[in-house]
């Protein structure tokens, strides 16, 4: 396993991180989830990403039990706050009330006294940003949160938060967690240049585009049973944008490149995200331990410029680049 600094902070994280968004407490049984975490640990992964809302808070509970008995100082545990975790109007968003209550709930579920990184899961247009940042800063000063980050924020939102933190003496945001893959590059035009300048690292999710970049989805063929595309618990909605036959055909055309490099399609896709110097880690999920063991082989892989150009030439105009597609809900229910 290779390790990278998280942005300009002093924290080092495994460049392959393990995430449990659509698996723990939802798609797979707990025994399988714990086997995946054990495989991640065996392969040298030290960074684990989750969120309070995943599987209705169950994902944090499963991860907490799976990591029990591990040396806490040897792990980096990340979680998030924003989405609803209860029925009330204050059970969501980035108000001081919800941030404090959500963090304490996450600590109980994760069975830890602190999290290494606490992330605003979306931007909250209803709460003053100063209130949000002060609440995060208070948690840092209490020792319950070591670093603060965001997820799916636009460049102008990140920049505003950095300015306020500097003006008010708060700890700065050190990370951004966006979707990023060969097919989804919406951060490249605005978010990445800002973050490179300001020392904010990317912790990217869905580096294999919900499984599309593994090549298992064939153009003109039925969707594989039991795949993300047939999952009614949320996976199918996310993957639908990538199931166009032209796009799937171009993904199949990446296979010779992977074969020449001695990589699986998944390894090629993950390694591609890690070529971006602003990326601190790529998050992988798994429903089986062998998927973890396959994915970690992308760590430390260098793709030459000629390979990156071939990938761009193959994918052509199916790549999604519009920075406006990074958007938070404009109004909370």
Return d(Cα 153, Cα 208) in angstroms, integer. Answer: 21
pLDDT tens, residue order, the chain (333 aa):
999 999 999 999 999 999 988 665 555 678 888 999 999 999 999 999 999 998 888 999 999 999 999 999 999 999 999 999 999 999 999 999 999 999 999 999 999 999 999 999 999 999 999 999 999 999 999 999 999 999 999 999 999 999 999 999 999 999 999 999 999 999 999 999 999 999 999 999 999 998 999 998 887 777 666 555 445 555 556 677 888 899 999 999 999 999 999 999 999 999 999 999 999 999 998 888 999 999 999 999 999 999 999 999 999 999 999 999 998 888 665
Question: What pLDDT, on a 0 to 100 scale, did the predictor assign at position 230?
Answer: 47
Classified as helix, coil or strand, 97 is helix
Question: What pLDDT, on a 0 to 100 scale, did the predictor assign at position 170?
Answer: 96
Q: What is 3-325's CATH number?
A: 3.20.20.100
Q: In Å, how far are 10, 109, 287 from 51, measured between CA atoms?
A: 23, 11, 18
Return d(Cα 279, Cα 95) in angstroms, integer. Answer: 29
CA dihedral sign of residues 135, 171, 74, 46: positive
Q: Which residue has the tokens 């958007």?
A: 327
Q: Which residues are catalytic?
A: 54
**Strand-strand pairing, 3-5 and 12-14:** antiparallel
Question: What pLDDT, on a 0 to 100 scale, did the predictor assign at position 333?
Answer: 56
């Amino acid at each position: 396993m290779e390790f990278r600094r998280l942005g300009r902070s002093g924290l080092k994280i495994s460049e392959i991180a393990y995430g449990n968004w659509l698996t723990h407490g939802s798609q797979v049984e707990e025994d399988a989830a714990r086997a995946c975490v054990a495989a991640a640990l065996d392969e040298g992964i030290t960074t684990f990403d989750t969120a309070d809302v995943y599987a209705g808070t169950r994902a944090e509970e499963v991860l907490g039990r799976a990591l029990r008995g591990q040396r806490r100082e040897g792990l980096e545990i990340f979680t998030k706050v924003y989405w609803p975790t209860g029925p009330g109007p204050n059970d969501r968003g980035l108000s001081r009330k919800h941030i404090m209550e959500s963090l304490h709930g996450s600590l109980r579920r994760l069975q830890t006294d602190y999290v290494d990184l606490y992330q605003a899961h979306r931007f909250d247009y209803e709460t003053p940003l100063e209130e949000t940042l002060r609440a995060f800063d208070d948690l840092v000063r209490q020792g319950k949160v070591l670093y603060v980050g965001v997820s799916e924020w636009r460049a102008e939102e990140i920049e505003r938060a950095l300015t306020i933190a500097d003006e008010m003496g708060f700890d700065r945001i050190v990370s951004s967690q966006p979707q990023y893959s060969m097919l989804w590059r919406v951060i490249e035009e605005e978010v990445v240049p800002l973050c490179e300048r300001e020392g904010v690292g990317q912790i990217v999710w869905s580096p294999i585009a919900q499984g599309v970049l593994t090549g298992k989805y064939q153009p003109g063929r039925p969707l594989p049973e039991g795949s993300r595309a047939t999952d009614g618990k949320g996976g199918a909605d996310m993957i639908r944008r990538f199931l166009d036959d032209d796009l799937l055909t171009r993904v199949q055309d990446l296979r010779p490149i992977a074969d020449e490099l001695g990589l699986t399609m998944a390894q090629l896709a993950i390694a591609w995200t890690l070529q971006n110097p602003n990326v601190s880690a790529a998050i992988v999920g798994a429903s089986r331990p062998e998927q973890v063991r396959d994915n970690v082989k992308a760590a430390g892989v260098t793709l030459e410029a000629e390979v990156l150009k071939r990938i761009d030439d193959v994918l052509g105009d199916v790549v999604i680049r519009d920075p406006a597609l990074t958007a938070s809900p404009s109004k909370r229910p």
